[in-house]
Amino acid sequence: MPFDGSPDENATQHGFHIHRYRLSRSGLNPKDEILTIYDLVKLYKKVQPDILHHVAMKAVLYGSIAARIADIDKTVNLFPGLGYLFTHKSLKIKILKRIFFRVFRTVIARQKSYLVFQNYIDRKIFTTLGKMPKEQCVMIPGSGIDVDKYPFVPENNKGPVRIVLPARMLRTKGVYEFVEAARILKKQKLNAEFILAGDPDPKNRDSIPIEQLQEWNKEGVVKWIGWQEDLGKLFSECNIVCLPSYREGLPKVLLEAGACGRAVVTTDVPGCSEVIKDEDNGLLAPKQSAVKLAKITKKLITNYNLRQPMGLKGRKIVLKKYTSNQIIKANLDLYISLLTNNQIGFSYSQEEPARTITNHRPTQ
């Protein structure tokens, strides 16, 4: 793990060994990036693992390069989201994206590897734009939910309707749109409370300054409560979970909300629309539109009889395909396939299903 990471005590208690290496999550200094790959090559040659499992964009790229240098050919490369390269559209980002695909195709050409994606759209980008072999690109939806930690709790229908956005306080999580939507709805005198649950991430270029969060809190438009360890408890005390993100891999927080039986408002973007089906277990809004987010959120705020069945459906969906045991089995199947050189039978469909979006009308 990176030098600045915090090792999980539970990991060491379960027999995992923690190895540290240099990594700047958002830095692009050539010297630092080369040192990261150097650290990984040394580590891989020392440990000689049977399989390498890389998680997230930089770890996948640099880990795969290091694996090739260290002559380790079995890798699982997980993309929990495509990150900054796919949420920004500057010329610099377009150039970096092309370089990434070209280097990555070269690096994995001689490896027995799987690329794991958490939604169909990300997988399609890699098989079309990235020209990666389809048989190496696998869809496994998320990291899995321990449903015992997120029990269903009937919604409290008394008092103000509480809407929570649980995420890192980043611009790309739709925090600004959520705050503006809250401002719009408060002017309509709705009996509702809007909550931000999460901390800023200073090392992320999209992080919202703590001074801005404090200012919103002081204004009273939203209530910022910071990072919450027990999201199950928080969701049990809220009525609606909202994530107006610009792009996700597969947002675990929406699965946690579903496990708790809460209706969701989120954006019609990769990842979010994978979990939430419009008018089924939640509602979908266009990204980066506070006005439309406010209109769609109002529909749930003012209709308990709509929220309740959506929450129940969310719980059923999580139990059907997103539990920890199901996701663990899918990952173990990948490991067995690499070790035995046998093709696996995928637990999840690898092709995108048909989907429809409802045109929402404003609540009168």
Q: Which two tokens stand for residue 228?
A: 């919450």
Which pLDDT score is estimated for 341?
82
- 196 and 135, same structural domain? no
Which pLDDT score is estimated for 107?
76
Q: Give residue 60's domain range.
A: 9-139
* 109: in domain: yes
**Domain count across the chain:** 2
Which pLDDT score is estimated for 311?
96
Which pLDDT score is estimated for 112?
84
- 262 and 173, same structural domain? yes
The CATH number linked to 67 is 3.40.50.2000
- 236 and 130, same structural domain? no
- 172 and 131, same structural domain? no
218-273 per-position pLDDT tens digit? 999 999 999 999 999 999 999 999 999 998 889 999 999 999 999 999 999 988 99
- 195 and 57, same structural domain? no
- 171 and 53, same structural domain? no
Residue with tokens 């093709």: 343
Burial of 193 (0-12, 13-18, 19+ CB in 10 A): middle
- 165 and 134, same structural domain? no
* 54: in domain: yes
Which pLDDT score is estimated for 21?
79
CA distance 162 to 153: 15
Domain end, chosen from 86, 105, 139, is at 139
Q: Inter-axis angle of helices 252-259 and 304-321, to 10 degrees?
A: 110
Which pLDDT score is estimated for 91?
78
Which pLDDT score is estimated for 174?
97
* 342: in domain: no
20-29 per-position pLDDT tens digit? 877 766 666 7
Q: Which two tokens stand for residue 138?
A: 């696998």
* 296: in domain: yes
* 315: in domain: yes
> CA torsion angle for 132, 138, 142, 148 (degrees, to 10)?
-170
Burial of 15 (0-12, 13-18, 19+ CB in 10 A): exposed
- 307 and 188, same structural domain? yes
- 124 and 68, same structural domain? yes
HEC string for 267-308: ECCCCHHHHCCECCCEEEECCCCHHHHHHHHHHHHCCHHHHH
* 47: in domain: yes
DSSP E strands, the chain: 52-55, 74-79, 112-117, 137-139, 161-166, 192-197, 223-224, 240-243, 263-267, 282-285
- 50 and 133, same structural domain? yes
Which pLDDT score is estimated for 364?
37
Give the residue among 270, 233, 229, 278 at the shortest CA–CA distance from 251. Answer: 270
* 195: in domain: yes
Which pLDDT score is estimated for 84?
64
Q: Which two tokens stand for residue 169?
A: 């306080």
pLDDT in tens, the chain (364 residues): 554 445 566 677 777 888 887 776 666 677 888 999 999 999 999 999 999 999 988 888 899 999 999 999 899 999 887 766 666 677 777 777 787 788 777 777 766 889 999 888 888 888 887 788 888 888 898 889 999 999 999 998 888 999 999 999 999 999 999 999 999 999 999 999 999 999 999 888 899 999 999 999 999 999 999 999 999 999 999 999 999 999 888 999 999 999 999 999 999 998 899 899 999 999 999 999 999 999 999 999 999 999 999 999 999 999 999 999 999 999 999 999 999 887 665 555 555 544 444 444 433 3
* 362: in domain: no
- 130 and 195, same structural domain? no
- 310 and 243, same structural domain? yes
